[in-house]
Amino acid sequence: MFVRMKEDIEVVFEQDPAARSYLEVILTYSGLHAIWSHRIAHALFKRKFYFLARVVSQISRFFTGIEIHPGAKIGRRFFIDHGMGVVIGETCEIGDNVTVFQGVTLGGTGKEKGKRHPTIKDNALIATGAKVLGSITIGENSKIGAGSVVLHEVPPNSTVVGIPGRVKIRDGVKVGKDLNHCDLPDPIFDRFKEMEKEMQEIRDEVESLRKERSQVYGHSDL
């Protein structure tokens, strides 16, 4: 237990340049507190003390702003940066050396039973505000961009951005049009641009008909 706790502290220093001392990390890092609380809740959950497990998880949620269901399986060296608003569902499975940022949701897509939450493989990174939904797998060494909504499987060694999330880099090679986190797809804006183009085409057609009528009848009124 103490080896795992020491490991959890060390990963904070590796991932967060703002960490200055062991005392600061132990007393003030809510992500670390949430992980330690989850270990207790998960141990109770496995022994079928479901009510006590939920009590522990809810107390942790109250103090940290991070909601982890006691049934979730979390590997070693899991790092939650800042953490406020993170939600991890009951059947979620997280591998080793995984990092998530604030506002991340690892959730389900409905009321189905059984495995309904994501599986996150080793060394994955899920950036701020990303939503990974359903019983899908995020492959090893993959990265989910900030604000992305992922509804489908992600291969290993991939980078996913957008709504819905699409693979843009796989095994170090760009897939399709390159997108930066500051240039995420905006389907609503794209639709407005299409409508604006269609309206302009209609205006041009009306103007063309007006000119033809003017030439025939000597005036511009339709």
| Domains defined along the chain, listed by start | 2-182 (2.160.10.10), 186-222 (no CATH)
Q: What is the pLDDT along the chain (222 residues), one digit of tens a residue?
A: 778 888 888 888 888 888 888 898 899 889 999 999 999 999 999 999 999 999 999 999 999 999 999 999 999 999 998 889 999 998 999 999 999 999 999 988 877 778 889 999 999 999 898 999 988 899 999 899 888 888 888 888 888 888 876 776 666 666 655 445 455 556 677 788 889 999 999 998 888 888 888 877 765 554
Other beta carbons less than 10 A from residue 206's beta carbon:
11
- What pTM value is reported for the model? 0.71
- Using DSSP, state whether 95 is helix, strand or coil: coil
Measured distance CA(152)–CA(134) in Å, rounded: 8
CA distances to 30, 89, 99, 136, 169 from 107, rounded to whole Å, are: 21, 5, 16, 10, 24
